[in-house]
Amino acid sequence: MSNSIGTAFRVTSLGESHGRCIGVVIDGCPAGLTIDEEALYRMMERRRPGTSAVTTGRSETDKVEILSGVHERHTTGAPILMLTWNRDHDSSSYDQIKSKPRPGHADYTAWARYGGFNDHRGGGRASGRVTAGFVMAGAVAKQLLLTIGVEVHAYTRAIGGREAPEPTLDQIKKAAASIVGCLDPSASDKMVWVIEKAKTEGDSVGGVVECVCLGLPAGVGQPVFETIEGDISKALFAVPAVKAVEFGAGIRLASMRGSEANDLYIAESGIIGTVTNNSGGVLGGITTGTPIVVRAAFKPTPSIAKAQRTIDLATRSEAEINVGGRHDPCIVPRAVPVVEAMVAITLADHALRRGLITQVLGERR
């Protein structure tokens, strides 16, 4: 496994769905950052299941313990270990997936990768529960970015084919998302409806999460290989169910003319900007100073309340599986803070590498 990401702000994920804990280690967070635990908990709360009718009924408390690297509410420069303890789970319902992999899940691939020694209970390392650790790290990354005035906001753009219009900068900054993580009330209603319909029919839906970063200056990024786009996309594909990532006008750029796609430069009072933002704030892997705009497409939750064809790994013959239990009919609402976390982690790393965040954030003591 390769459970670390980032160069200067290095995040290591750990824990399993039904193991003792889920957590994260951050190595490289500069000393002197004041940790806002309230903000951390609020971000965790957005990811927590059971907070609305459209998410799984599984109850997680997600109380986070900070076990190292923070002393008297400040980071010390040492590795920060953050954990949330798993409650006791009844893992017996997962016995069948040891031999009969659920379609669309990572049961089969994890079995192939780890020779059957992987902790299969609840999906193990491939479970969405692992993203609780991502959010812990993301909350710290966001706080680090805030010290230089950089904000990261994610929200839902589509669920089950119901799309929300592009939000205004005001809406983004206000960040008053609905229970499906959407900034548009009307689209939100349709999204709730499509999720509930899928749920009723024992099915699931996917969607699109968009994330915007405001305030990062031009000149951040490490081409040719450690580009802003490349590093954000790598981070986003670590989120279960993400199958596509696009920046700015994204896939639509493939059908545009150059004269339409190019973002023309303008200068107002000496500040350089662009008329449009089709590039999504990145050119040549380096930030332009305009908002970074990225979208991640999520496939529908693979766990559905229907019998599905699968195979029996022991006999290598065909079989059937019926995945019971309480599952999110749509993972997108809870994935919103996870996308935000991954983008924040990546940009905190790049901001540090670029020297934008000075080593010691507070006053020397």
Regarding 246 and contact with a second copy (CB under 8 A), the answer is yes
# binding residues, a second copy (CB under 8 A): 150
Q: State which residue, 103 or 151, has the beta carbon closest to a second copy.
A: 103
Burial of 306 (C-beta count, 10 Å sphere; 0-12/13-18/19+): exposed
Question: Do 294 and 234 meet the contact criterion of CB atoms below 8 Å apart?
Answer: no
> 283-322: which residues touch a second copy (CB under 8 A)?
283-289, 297-304, 306, 308-311, 316-318
17-56 residues in contact with a second copy (CB under 8 A) are 19-21, 23, 25, 27-28, 31-32
Q: According to CB under 8 A, which residues from 57 to 76 bind a second copy? A: 67-69, 71, 74-76
Give the position of tokens 């908002």: 291
Binding a second copy (rule: CB under 8 A), the pick from 44, 64, 97, 208 is 208
Fill in the per-residue mask, 335 to 354: x = in contact with a second copy (CB under 8 A), - = not in contact: -------------------x
By rule CB under 8 A, what string of x and - marks binding of each residue 106-145 to a second copy? x-xxx-xxxxxxxx-x--xxx---x---------------
Q: Is 326 in the site for a second copy (CB under 8 A)?
A: no
Tokens of 73: 């509410």
Q: Which residues of 74-107 are buried (b: 16+ CB within 10 A; e: fewer)?
A: bbbbeebbbbbebeeeeeeebebbebbbbbbbbb
CB neighbour class for 267 (10 Å; exposed up to 12, middle 13-18, buried from 19): exposed
Question: Binding segment for a second copy among 16-24, 40-48, 142-150, 176-184 (CB under 8 A)?
Answer: 16-24
Other CB atoms closer than 10 Å to residue 48's CB: what's the count?
Answer: 19
* Least gap, CB of 74 to a second copy (angstroms): 5
Calculate Rg over the CA atoms of the chain: 21
If one asks whether residue 78 binds a second copy (CB under 8 A), the answer comes out as: yes
* CA triple 5-10-11, angle to 5 deg: 65
Of the candidates 348, 294, 334, the residue with the CA atom closest to the CA atom of residue 140 = 348
Q: Is 203 in the site for a second copy (CB under 8 A)?
A: yes
Closest CB 105 distance from a second copy, rounded Å: 7
Residue 214: which region, alpha, beta or left (left: phi > 0; alpha: psi -120 to 50)? beta
3-class secondary structure per residue, 52-101: CCCCCCCCCCCCCEEEECEECCEECCCCEEEEEECCCCCCHHHHHHHCCC
Name the one range near a second copy by CB under 8 A: 46-54, 135-143, 178-186, 201-209. Answer: 201-209
Residue 215 near a second copy by CB under 8 A: no
x/- track of binding to a second copy for residues 219-238 (CB under 8 A): xxxxxxxxx-xxx-xxxxxx
- Residue 14 vs 145, nearer CB to a second copy: 14
